[in-house]
Amino acid sequence: MNYSISTKLVLSFVLISLVSVAIVASASNYFARKNLISNANRILLAAAEHSADNLDLFLTNNLDSIRIHAQLPVLTAYLSLPLEQRANSSLESEVITTLNILSRKDQLFYSSYTLFDHDGIMVFATDGIGIGTTHAAKDYFQQPLKTRLPYVSAVSMDENTHVWILSFSSPVRDDQDKVIGVLRSRYDAAILQRIVSQNNGLAGDQSFSILLDENYIRLAHGLDANLNFKSVVPLAPEKLTELQHEGRLAKVSEADLTTNLSGFAVGLAKVNSNEPYFTSQLAIFNSQLSTAAVIQLKTKPWLMVFAQPEEIYLAPIQAQGRNFLFLALGIAGVIAMVAFGIGRFFARPIVELTEVAKQVSAGNLLVQAKITSRDEIGQLAQVFNGMTLRLNNLVSSLEEQVQARMVDLTYSLEVGQRAAAIRDLAELLPTVTELIRDRFRLYYVQTYLMDDVGQTLILQTGTGTIGQRKLAIGSKLFLYQEAELAVQAALSKQAQIMAETFNEGGGGRLLSQARSRLAIPLVVEERVIGVLDLYATEVNAFTSRNLTVFEAMATQLSLSIDSAKQWALAQAAQQKSQAAIQQLTQNTWERKLQFLATKQDLAFTYNLAEVQPLSPDSSQLTEKETLSAPLTIQNTHIGQLQVQKPPEKQWSHEEKFLVETIASQLAQKAENLRLFEETQQQATREQITRQISDKIRASRNVKMALETAAEELTKALGVDRTIIDLRLDSLPEEEKG
């Protein structure tokens, strides 16, 4: 080779540069590919974890909800009643109303609310199906009894409607913490498909999730719902029969219950916490391979599989490889040191991004990758930072929502308990409205009640000075004022939200600081009895997220108001009954005393030697000398007991109590004797009547019957003569035959 030394040096230098660039490019491509695969796996895993957390949050929220609902006092009071007292009782109506209200909180997916007694007998169901049947052997009944905790069942097919359902149940306890029944709510299993489908695309283009139970049966599929309730691989005949008997598989041919994807099942069996990934064919309609990450749920032994076609999954990695090749060809003409330095320069962002990814995988969602360029690496870092930020916001938002919802539920429960403890309506409404305003930090709270004709809402109570001024002017709303938010709520029987208001919500300058408003109808047995009106100083203070809390609180307040009204009616009826009894007792004793006054003495005195009648003209003892106690029956004064003391003696509290006790017992004894005498007199009259009737019936003819009747009446009444005259009055001429 006749080349100059400079050429050889240049060629050698270029060759060394090319070799160096090739080595650096190959090494960088290898590590970048490894890191990108690791990052892609982490994205898949994060998406799987997010999907599993969403489903766990759904299950946990419903377990908490059914636990809170099972603690409602009306359910405990109803199940505590003897069986024969439940039917047509007021508590039964309250239970029916409460469960019907609860079942309407999610009308799209909620199936029904069901109440079982301690023996597993269904005592009520909002869908009316199966009432009176026994469910003692079902897991949703047995598990709450055994564990005393809320329970979520496996997905199974309803025997009556042939719809796939998911049941939540919780024990109902009495005041002694004894389990006296079980409350169950049922979801249409389509809610699982909806939750799973919402996560499609979370890990990138064409990514999707699949929910499997412990038997590898699909409960939800992000792309194809027709695969739901089919097993990944064929099940053993015994297992298939068992699951069909339990309703967890449809009773169809085995070929219609499986997809026979053995690679899918092998991948599921191999995953673990250290290597939760596998690649396999996941669908029967095409043979393409997909890479998947698997996470087990915390609340159920179910698996959340998040997958992406391998072609899409590897596309960023292949693109990165091509970029490195172009980079190597572009810097091939530069010297080795510059090429080496540039290689290091471009490799550094990858290393930094890898370190950031490691911190994110360790749980630090606040870390951000440095963006030093606008090339693919910089774009990747920017996308990674955006994904990390979204994950952090999502986790924070979920935590804040859960915390806020728990606080609201706690306040709602406190308001319900306080309302249930007050029977007086005049005390109930001011107390509850002030408590609602204080706990939820609202600007103003007021309560309207419907008048008797159902045409006018009358303000009953309002908080603070605003409420006092509105009550002073007698604020009321007519149902023809349809523009008023409270009237709209009463007419529609649904809560009405005004997210942003500037004095359009009623009240004029009195409510000038109000910026949002919520009007909730107070409904009892489909009957509007009033409206709960809430005002806040913040815009959008009332949303669909916290509406259910306020509606549940309004339901509890409605039941308490209705209970207070019923209690007031019962008190009035009791007072009328007591007044009637008192009047009857007074009239009876007046007649008794008037009768006895003609027969015998009614006043006596004891002089430490003997008991003597007290003459009407006897001198009365002075008030200072005697201790008097009234003889009272049913608040009717029938006499008095007087005790004289020596001049030097003072009455002690024990002596006064003794005299009052003796007077009470004496009055009661007099009443008992009077009742006994009346009973005896009644019995004597009935006996005489029976004897006379028997003798009359024993007569052989009319004459003997008349003679017997006259004779016996004369003896019984103690009269001189009894006349029985049998004759027909003469009829007018026009009425004769």
Q: What is the pLDDT of residues 51-86, one digit of tens each?
A: 999 999 999 999 999 999 999 998 999 988 888 888
Chain CA centroid to CA 593, Å: 62
Torsion of CA 204, 207, 213, 215, to 10 degrees: -130
Read off the pLDDT of each residue in 319-329 and give the average, rounded to a whole number.
69
| 540 CB burial (10 A radius; 0-12, 13-18, 19+) | exposed
Q: Which residues pair with 633 in a beta bridge?
A: 636
- Judged against a pLDDT cut of 60, whether residue 4 lies above it is answered with no
DSSP states of 91-113: HHHHHHHHHHHHHTTTTTTEEEE
pLDDT higher for 579 or 400?
Answer: 579
- Cα distances from 676 to residues 286, 597, 670, 672, 681, in angstroms, run 97, 19, 10, 6, 9
- Judged against a pLDDT cut of 80, whether residue 36 lies above it is answered with no
- Judged against a pLDDT cut of 60, whether residue 337 lies above it is answered with no
Neighbouring residues of 631: CB distance < 8 A, sequence distance ≥ 6 = 637, 638, 639, 640, 641, 663, 666, 667, 670
Tokens linked to 287 = 């043979």
- Judged against a pLDDT cut of 80, whether residue 501 lies above it is answered with no
3-class DSSP assignment, residue 42: helix
Question: What's the confidence (pLDDT) of residue 615?
Answer: 63
pLDDT higher for 298 or 382?
Answer: 298
Cα–Cα distance for residue pair 563/561, rounded to 1 Å:
5
Neighbouring residues of 478: CB distance < 8 A, sequence distance ≥ 6 = 455, 456, 457, 487
Torsion of CA 567, 568, 571, 576, to 10 degrees: -140
Read off the pLDDT of each residue in 461-477 and give the average, rounded to a whole number.
87
Question: What's the confidence (pLDDT) of residue 705?
Answer: 85
Task: Give the model's confidence band at 180: pLDDT under 50 very low, under 70 low, under 90 confident, else very high.
Answer: very high
Least trusted range by pLDDT, from 527-531, 605-609, 683-687: 605-609
- Tokens 């396999």: give the residue: 280
Q: To the nearest whole number, what is the mean pLDDT of the chain?
A: 81
Least trusted range by pLDDT, from 302-306, 333-337, 439-443, 641-645: 333-337
Q: Which helix H or strand E contains 676, and what residues bound it? A: helix 653-697
Question: What's the confidence (pLDDT) of residue 151?
Answer: 95
Cβ atoms within 10 Å, residue 306:
29
Least trusted range by pLDDT, from 45-49, 476-480, 531-535: 476-480
Per-residue pLDDT tens over the stretch 377-429? 677 777 877 888 787 777 676 666 666 667 777 877 878 788 777 878 888 88
- Single-letter code of the amino acid located at 68: I
Q: Do 17 and 334 contact (CB within 8 A), yes or no?
A: yes
- Judged against a pLDDT cut of 90, whether residue 238 lies above it is answered with yes
Question: What's the confidence (pLDDT) of residue 675?
Answer: 81
- Single-letter code of the amino acid located at 586: Q
Long-range contacts (CB closer than 8 Å, 24 or more residues apart) made by 385-392? 387/43, 388/360, 391/46, 391/50, 391/365, 392/365, 392/366
DSSP code at position 619: P
Instruction: Give Dmax over CA atoms of the chain in angstroms.
Output: 175
Task: Give the model's confidence band at 655: pLDDT under 50 very low, under 70 low, under 90 confident, else very high.
Answer: confident
- Single-letter code of the amino acid located at 522: L
Per-residue pLDDT tens over the stretch 257-291? 888 888 888 988 888 888 899 988 887 777 788 89
| Residue ranges of E strands in 18-153 | 110-117, 122-125, 151-152
What's phi and psi for 714, nearest 5 deg?
-60, -45
In this prediction the pTM is 0.44
Cα–Cα distance for residue pair 662/80, rounded to 1 Å:
41
Q: Do 436 and 446 contact (CB within 8 A), yes or no?
A: no
Cα–Cα distance for residue pair 156/192, rounded to 1 Å:
13
Q: Do 371 and 382 contact (CB within 8 A), yes or no?
A: yes
Cβ atoms within 10 Å, residue 628:
13
- Which of 261, 265, 224, 229 shows the shortest CA–CA distance to 244? 229
Question: What's the confidence (pLDDT) of residue 106?
Answer: 66
341-369 b/e (C-beta count within 10 Å ≥ 16 → b): ebbeebbebbeebbebbeebeeeebeeeb
Question: What's the confidence (pLDDT) of residue 357?
Answer: 77
Task: Give the model's confidence band at 347: pLDDT under 50 very low, under 70 low, under 90 confident, else very high.
Answer: low
Read off the pLDDT of each residue in 623-631 and give the average, rounded to a whole number.
72
Chain CA centroid to CA 216, Å: 33
